[in-house]
Amino acid sequence: MYYQTERSDIFLSNNEFILLNPNELHRQISVDNHKFVIELDPTFLNQLTADISCIKDNISFALTVQKHPLVQKWVHFINDYVQIEEGNESHSVELFLDHSFTQLALMICKVMVGTHSSDINIQPFKEIHPALYKTMNVIKEDFQHAWSLDEMAGILNISKFQFAHLFKEYIGISPFSWLQLYRIIRSQDMLIHTKKSIVDISYSCGFSSISVYNQLFKRLYGITPSFFRRKYAK
């Protein structure tokens, strides 16, 4: 599946998804087989986020391909139930979906990457793929390090090509893209809770330059780190 937005082109494979914020201009270029689209009330999402994070203003989700086992399970569960109820004219499906969308909204706020995030939740991978979970933990613990693909693959004692394929299969993006995404999240916490300069924050989080940091931040959220700080810092 191929989408175009003002900031980037998005290619989605099986079980991958994106979260499009309100007023996010986008265009679907192509789709294979079928797609699963859900529209959630942004006001409800903001209320949920205010209860579980320090962000009390309108949140934005990162414009990036995401893949998460909890979301995959939820989608399969919904599809299976809807097929069971096919042809049923009662209100049971509507009632079921209303409750299910509330569950999805809470799940999204908890595990999806956005301006409210302070971490990437990797706990579900502990059972799904323990070796990959171990690798992500090691990378998170030393996220400022200038990791090479060889070093990441070395944690599992496999080739960098095997590792890159494995990571993309389970996470939806490349290892380096995931690392950069995690660095952005760590920087968000510093932007909100410290007085450090944006230059210092970018280097503290492992970015090679302030320009790389600014460009990635704006591509993900459509705003600069300085604007983010003005909007969300206490």
Nearest-angstrom CA–CA distance, 190 and 229: 9
pLDDT means over runs of 10, the chain (234 residues): 83 87 84 81 85 76 90 89 76 83 88 91 91 96 97 96 96 96 97 96 97 97 95 83
Chosen domain end from 76, 111, 146? 111
164, two tokens: 């890159």
Nearest-angstrom CA–CA distance, 149 and 160: 6
Domains held by the chain: number: 2
Does residue 156 share a domain with residue 217?
yes
pLDDT of amino acid 79: 86
Does residue 137 share a domain with residue 86?
no
pLDDT of amino acid 154: 96
Note down the domain range covering 50. Answer: 2-111
Number of Cβ within 10 Å of residue 79's Cβ equals 11
Identify whether 200 is part of a domain.
Answer: yes
Whichever domain contains 214, its CATH number is 1.10.10.60
Chosen domain end from 111, 137, 167? 111
Identify whether 120 is part of a domain.
Answer: no
pLDDT of amino acid 230: 93
Chosen domain end from 111, 138, 157? 111
Within 129-209, where are the H helices? Answer: 130-141, 149-156, 160-171, 175-193, 198-204
Identify whether 139 is part of a domain.
Answer: yes
Does residue 141 share a domain with residue 199?
yes
Rounded to 10°, the helix 210-221/225-232 angle is: 60
Identify whether 212 is part of a domain.
Answer: yes
